[in-house]
Amino acid sequence: MKYAYYPGCSLETSGAAYDVSTRAVANLLNLHLVELDDWNCCGATEFFSQDELTASAVVARNLALVGPDFDQLVAPCTACYLNLKKTDHLMRGDKKMSDKINEALAAGGLNHQAGRVQVRHLLDVIHADVGEAAIRDKVVRPLNGLKVACYYGCQMVRPFNDVDDSEQPTKLDDVLAWLEAEPTHFSAKAYCCGGHMTQISEPQAFELIRRILQNAADGGADMIACLCPMCQLNLDAYQSRVNRHFHADFRMPVVYFTQLMGLAFGVERKKLGFGKEIVAAGPVLERKLRTLQQVG
């Protein structure tokens, strides 16, 4: 299975653990991810706030760079995923806009034929294209006893709800169950993490982060598994500041689901980016997974 791979900017730095664990897991699952050559930033939510046509053209450059050998583009970051998918969707539905975007792309010698490339989120590829049997087959270190709150956030499940339910999605819970972890009851699983609000208005963002951490803790989770670098950053890096703000004492590790997949597949933790999280996952994993104490 061959896919064009769009890591996105966060996965180069703050979300590096997501990139390295994605590549490690893809390798074991025979998912051939070929990084899109010379891709550019998707503009996150910031560019669309200023100029829709330019923002769309900037996103469309990436779609246009997908070579003729590929018909699918995979993004692990939900913000990138949504921008790529939304732009292609916009071009398919709006001929006038599509022509303008292509006129802009032509200034750089490029063209994008809307609908030629299917934009996929990594979780969808793992759930649908790899599937249960192949994943169970690779598990050498089952995650029995590990209680995981599966956190989807917003932009993989909304506004498009063609991959999973937009209110109570289940695909990440499925994958974690295939690894033999125990997905917990977690009604905040598709709540908003606050996005860029941590940069703009901390009290606003902190309350959104708090209710997610609280809900995960109430459900008895040992850790949160997430699928977006922005969610991971907000829930993990800001956790101590949220604690200070609310006089709370959350100690909830937040890791990428691909890290847990790699762990179950027997990959060494340091090759999966463990240790990059601010709230350490190591002690919890060692306490919960007896097999880890022997292997490392």
Q: Which of residues 128-147 bind another protein (CB under 8 A)?
A: none
Q: Does 158 bind another protein (CB under 8 A)?
A: yes
Residues 119, 123, 192, 226: which binds another protein (CB under 8 A)? 192
Structure tokens at 285: 């994993």
Binding mask 31-70 for another protein (x = CB under 8 A): -------xxxx-xxxxxxxxxxxx-xxx--x---------
Would you call 214 exposed, middle or buried from its count of C-beta atoms within 10 A (0-12, 13-18, 19+)? middle
Which residue, 90 or 248, is less far from another protein as judged by CB?
90
- As measured in angstroms, the least distance from the Cβ of 144 to another protein is 29
Cβ(3)–Cβ(33) under 8 Å?
Answer: yes
Closest CA to 278 of 215, 233, 225, 227: 233
Residues 136, 138, 196, 288: which binds another protein (CB under 8 A)? 196
Q: How many CA atoms lie within 13 A of 242 on its CB side?
A: 26
Q: Does 170 bind another protein (CB under 8 A)?
A: no
Which residue, 82 or 179, is less far from another protein as judged by CB?
82
Q: How many CA atoms lie within 13 A of 188 on its CB side?
A: 23
Strand partners, 267: none
Contact window for another protein (CB under 8 A) among 25-33, 141-149, 197-205, 258-266:
197-205
Residues in the chain: 296
Contact window for another protein (CB under 8 A) among 131-139, 151-159, 172-180, 218-226:
151-159
Starting at the edge strand that comes first in sequence, how are the strands of the sheet with 32-35 ordered?
32-35, 2-5, 72-75, 118-121
The separation between CA 166 and the C-alpha centre of its own chain, rounded to angstroms, equals 15
Structure tokens at 139: 């598990």
Contact window for another protein (CB under 8 A) among 115-123, 158-166, 175-183, 263-271:
158-166
Residue 237's φ and ψ, nearest 5 degrees, are -70, -30
Residue 191's SS3 state is: coil
- As measured in angstroms, the least distance from the Cβ of 105 to another protein is 6
Q: 27 Cβ partners below 8 Å, 6+ apart?
A: none
Contact window for another protein (CB under 8 A) among 25-33, 136-144, 260-268, 275-283:
275-283
How far is Cα 259 from Cα 239, in angstroms, rounded to an integer? Answer: 20
Positive or negative torsion for Cα 225, 34, 155, 204: positive
Contact window for another protein (CB under 8 A) among 4-12, 67-75, 113-121, 170-178:
4-12
Which residue, 135 or 231, is less far from another protein as judged by CB?
231
Binding residue count for another protein, defined by CB under 8 A: 66
The binding site for another protein (CB under 8 A) comprises 9-10, 12-16, 38-41, 43-54, 56-58, 61, 90, 93-94, 97, 100-101, 103-110, 154-155, 158-159, 161, 166-167, 191-192, 194-197, 199-201, 204, 208, 237-238, 241, 275-278
